[in-house]
Structure 1
Amino acid sequence: MLTGSPAIPFQQMHMQADTSGRVLVLDSGVGGLSVQREIKRMLPDAALLYLADRAAFPYGDWDAAALREHICALVVSVSEVWQPSAVVIACNTASTLVLKSLREIMSVPVVGTVPAIKPAASQTQSGVFAVLATPGTVKRDYTQDLIIEFAPEHHIALVGATGLAALAEDKLAGRVVDLDRLLQEIVPCFVEKDGQRTDCIVLGCTHYPFLQEEMEQVAPWPVTWIDPAPAIAKRLVQVVEPETIATGFEDLFFLTS
Structure 2
Amino acid sequence: MTAGSELKPVLVFDSGIGGLTVLREARVLMPERGFIYVADDAGFPYGGWEEAALKDRIITLFARLLRDHDPEVCVIACNTAFTLVGADLRAAFPHMTFVGTVPAIKPAAERTRSGLVSVLATPGTVKRAYTRDLIESFAQKCHVRLVGSENLARMAEAYIRGEPVSDEAVLAEIGQCFIEKEGSRKTDIVVLACTHYPFMANVFRRLAPWPVDWIDPAEAIARQARRKVPLVEGAEHPDAFDFSIFTSGNPDFSTRRLMQGFGLAIG
TM over 0.5: yes
Alignment of 1:6-85 (within 5 A): 21-85=8-72
SS of residue in 2 equivalent to 1:54: coil
State the Cα distance separating 1:67 from its structure 2 match. Answer: 0.9
Q: Any stretches of 5+ residues in structure 1 without a counterpart?
A: 1-17
Matched-pair contact (CA < 8 Å) for 1:19–1:246: no
* Shift in CA distance, 82/20, structure 1 to aligned 2, threshold 3 Å: farther
Matched-pair contact (CA < 8 Å) for 1:132–1:186: yes
State the Cα distance separating 1:20 from its structure 2 match. Answer: 7.0
Equivalent residue, structure 2, for 1:113: 101
Residue identity over aligned pairs, in percent, reads 48
Equivalent residue, structure 1, for 2:147: 159
State the Cα distance separating 1:255 from its structure 2 match. Answer: 0.8
From 70, 78, 83, the counterpart of 1:91? 78
SS of residue in 2 equivalent to 1:242: coil
Partner AA of 1:169 in structure 2: E
Q: Any stretches of 5+ residues in structure 2 without a counterpart?
A: 249-267
Task: Give the Cα–Cα distance (whole angstroms) in 1 for the partners of residues 153 and 213 of structure 2.
Answer: 20
State the Cα distance separating 1:105 from its structure 2 match. Answer: 2.2
Equivalent residue, structure 2, for 1:188: 176
From 210, 229, 254, the counterpart of 2:245? 254
Partner AA of 1:51 in structure 2: V
The runs of at least 4 aligned residues of structure 1 exceeding 6 Å deviation read none
Count of aligned residue pairs for this structure pair? 240
State which drifts further: 207-216 or 232-241: 232-241
Per-residue CA distance 1:71-95 (angstroms, 9 max, x = gap): 1111110110111111111100000
Matched-pair contact (CA < 8 Å) for 2:7–2:238: no
Equivalent residue, structure 2, for 1:205: 194
Task: Give the Cα–Cα distance (whole angstroms) in 2 for the partners of residues 45 and 168 of structure 1.
Answer: 30
Equivalent residue, structure 2, for 1:138: 126
From 205, 214, 217, the counterpart of 1:216? 205
From 147, 150, 164, the counterpart of 1:176? 164
* Shift in CA distance, 105/247, structure 1 to aligned 2, threshold 3 Å: farther
Task: Give the Cα–Cα distance (whole angstroms) in 2 for the partners of residues 242 and 170 of structure 1.
Answer: 36
SS of residue in 1 equivalent to 2:244: strand
* Shift in CA distance, 96/246, structure 1 to aligned 2, threshold 3 Å: farther
Partner AA of 1:251 in structure 2: D
* Root-mean-square deviation over aligned CA pairs: 1.7
Per-residue CA distance 1:149-173 (angstroms, 9 max, x = gap): 0000101111000111111110121
Matched-pair contact (CA < 8 Å) for 2:8–2:33: no
Task: Give the Cα–Cα distance (whole angstroms) in 2 for the partners of residues 204 and 27 of structure 1.
Answer: 13
Equivalent residue, structure 2, for 1:103: 90
Report the TM-score when normalising by structure 1: 0.89
Report the TM-score when normalising by structure 2: 0.86
Partner AA of 2:132 in structure 1: Q
Task: Give the Cα–Cα distance (whole angstroms) in 1 for the partners of residues 36 and 236 of structure 2.
Answer: 11
Q: RCO higher in 1 or 2 (8 Å CA, sep ≥ 6)? A: 1
State which drifts further: 100-109 or 207-216: 100-109
Partner AA of 1:24 in structure 2: L
* Shift in CA distance, 207/23, structure 1 to aligned 2, threshold 3 Å: same
Task: Give the Cα–Cα distance (whole angstroms) in 2 for the partners of residues 56 and 98 of structure 1.
Answer: 15
Task: Give the Cα–Cα distance (whole angstroms) in 2 for the partners of residues 230 and 60 of structure 1.
Answer: 24
Matched-pair contact (CA < 8 Å) for 1:167–1:178: no
Task: Give the Cα–Cα distance (whole angstroms) in 1 for the partners of residues 85 and 231 of structure 2.
Answer: 25
Matched-pair contact (CA < 8 Å) for 1:117–1:146: yes
